[in-house]
A and B are shown apart, each in its own frame.
Chain A
Amino acid sequence: MFAGIDKRKLYTPFNIASGIILIIGAVLTVLRFTGGLSMVTNLDDNNPWGLWIGFDLLCGVALAAGGYVTSSAVYIFGMKKYHSAVRPAILTGFLGYSFVVFALMYDLGRPYRLPYPFVVQAGPTSFLFEVGLCVALYLTVLFIEFSPAAWEFMGWKKIRKIAHSLTIPLTIFGVVLSTLHQSSLGGLYLIAPSKLHPLWYSAYLPLFFFVSSIVAGLSMVMFEGSLAHKYYHDKMDRTHLNEASEVVLGFGKAAALVLSGYFVMKVIGIAVDNNWHYLATGWGAWFLVELIGFVALPALAFAIGVREKNRKLIQRTAAWAVLGIVVNRLNVSLIAFNWQLPAADRYFPSWMEIMTSLFIVTLGVTVYRLIVTFLPILHEHPEYKDSH
């Protein structure tokens, strides 16, 4: 099953660095679960949510949006020319959400209490309850959507047929669930108007989070596709190689349109609350860096790339847009949060928090590499060609 692995290829600099990070992460995991939050984090009563929520959860969920974006484009809007992008996108989504839940356990501390909101004490009026329920359901949806690749690998034809027959209802369910929880993650911050800087706080936060998640999903599919093309070229079949170019151009165009709309919405967000005067402050300068540098300029760069059919430019802009989404989520959850507190009370993550986040990302990348190496993700399984 795993024949053909060249042992010399295992000891690459990337693999060795990953191994070191994973070992450090394992030690930090033991420290966190034996010593509590204070052992490894700088969290306190003013800042109960830190990097693990701001980066691992908020960025993780947004960047895993490629699954619903791609599957809805292909199965709901009938854009079959992007079909080869579905499996990698679903895999990224599935792994993204899996590691979001994994990371959440570090923050919660008692993993066995994860099902509590559903079976012990529900809080149906809370955004957190809605996010938890949607993520739990959507992770299940993603698992079933991803599973045909695993069943094909294992040769389980019947169960593969059942899972494959559920594609359309699961896609619709996935879009509904994603719309709900992507926006609700922004909705979480509606409760903190006095803590979040007015330039980032808006009644439209749920809308901002949802629309930007579409950009994150599209950009992540292009970014991940460019990496897969570079490092897993030998795993890609002719269909994937031929369609890759179409995927970049089509998704680049969509990203340009959605980003331009998002830019207008953000400006309207300032106008509705009459927050113009904040733009002349230091916080305003940082807000403009985000708005111009990570929204307007990437939208323009996407558009130029699409016009010129410059795939390199589009792929680089996709990485830029992904960075922009990370900047936005960190701004809302950490940087512009508690902005009025004196510097001594502000939160900055400890090296162990940063290392734990890096550990979780590395673990995700390692599992991704393992799956695309063995499962039919970047190519069609010979026995199921044209059966999609």
Chain B
Amino acid sequence: MDAIYYTLQDFLTFTKGFTYVLMGVGLVGFIGFWRFLTARDDD
């Protein structure tokens, strides 16, 4: 991750790509967290 980027294009390709992956992980994690939070709502 400490790689040197010579162009803005390179920088954005890496950071945006990584951000999209994180957003996907975040969304899936959020569903898991929601299920954990509401699992005992009916009790």
> Residues on A close to B: CB < 8 A?
253, 256-257, 260-261, 264, 267-268, 271-274, 276-277, 299, 303, 306-309
Contact = CB atoms under 8 A, between A and B. Distances in A.
Contact of A260 (B16, B33, B38, B40): B33
B29 A264 contact: yes
SS class, residues of chain B in contact with chain A: helix
A276 B14 CA distance: 13
A292 to B, nearest CB: 15
A267 B15 contact: no
A307 B15 contact: no
A261 B37 contact: no
| Residue of B14, B30, B33, B34 with highest tally of chain A CB at under 10 A | B33
Given A276-B1, A277-B2, A268 B36 contact: no
SS class, residues of chain A in contact with chain B: helix
Given A257-B34, A260-B29, A303-B36, 13 more contacts: A256-B33, A261-B30, A264-B22, A264-B30, A268-B19, A272-B16, A274-B1, A276-B1, A277-B1, A303-B33, A303-B37, A307-B36, A307-B39
A273 B8 CA distance: 12
Interface residues of B, number: 20
Contacts, number: 50
Interface of B: 1-2, 11, 14-16, 18-19, 22-23, 26, 29-30, 33-34, 36-40
Nearest to B30: A260
B36 A264 contact: no
B27 to A, nearest CB: 8
Nearest to B11: A274
Contact of A271 (B18, B30, B33, B34): B18
Contacts of B37: 253, 256-257, 303, 306-307
Nearest to A273: B15
25 contacts: A253-B38, A256-B33, A256-B37, A257-B33, A260-B29, A260-B30, A260-B33, A264-B22, A264-B23, A267-B22, A268-B23, A271-B15, A271-B18, A272-B15, A273-B15, A274-B1, A274-B11, A274-B15, A276-B2, A299-B33, A303-B36, A303-B37, A306-B37, A308-B40, A309-B40
